[in-house]
Amino acid sequence: MKAHFLRGSKQEIAESLVRISGDVREAIVFEEEPTPAAPHDTEDIFAEMDPFMVDARDVDDSREAVYSRMDGE
């Protein structure tokens, strides 16, 4: 038994396949999977975290403030 490996486009493979005498026992097909589209609705994915959120105003989040020790640290 002789195995043939056919490469190319679908059309090229089909044309080569009809010229080969014998049985087709297996075929491997690589199919591109569609990428999921972005959700159309603008649902807030963080809405479930609202009860745990802190609303702080006038917070100094500068690099210096973040990396400086506070009194008692």
- The per-residue pLDDT for range 14-42, each reduced to its tens digit, is 999 999 988 888 888 888 888 776 665 66
What pLDDT is stored for residue 38 in this prediction? 63
What whole-number distance in Å separates Cα of residue 8 and Cα of residue 50? 54
Inside any domain, residue 28:
yes
Give yes or no for residue 69 having a pLDDT over 70.
yes
Segments forming the whole domain that contains residue 26: 1-32
**Helix, strand, coil share (%) of the chain residues, nearest 5:** 25, 0, 75
Residue 60 half-sphere exposure toward CB, CA atoms < 13 A:
7
What is the count of structural domains for the chain?
A: 1
Inside any domain, residue 12:
yes
What pLDDT is stored for residue 35 in this prediction? 73
Question: Any idea which residue has 């210096």 for tokens?
Answer: 64
Q: How does the average pLDDT of the chain come out, rounded? A: 85
- The candidate with the shortest Cα–Cα distance to 2, out of 21, 19, 15, 16, is 21
Give yes or no for residue 63 having a pLDDT over 80.
yes
Inside any domain, residue 24:
yes
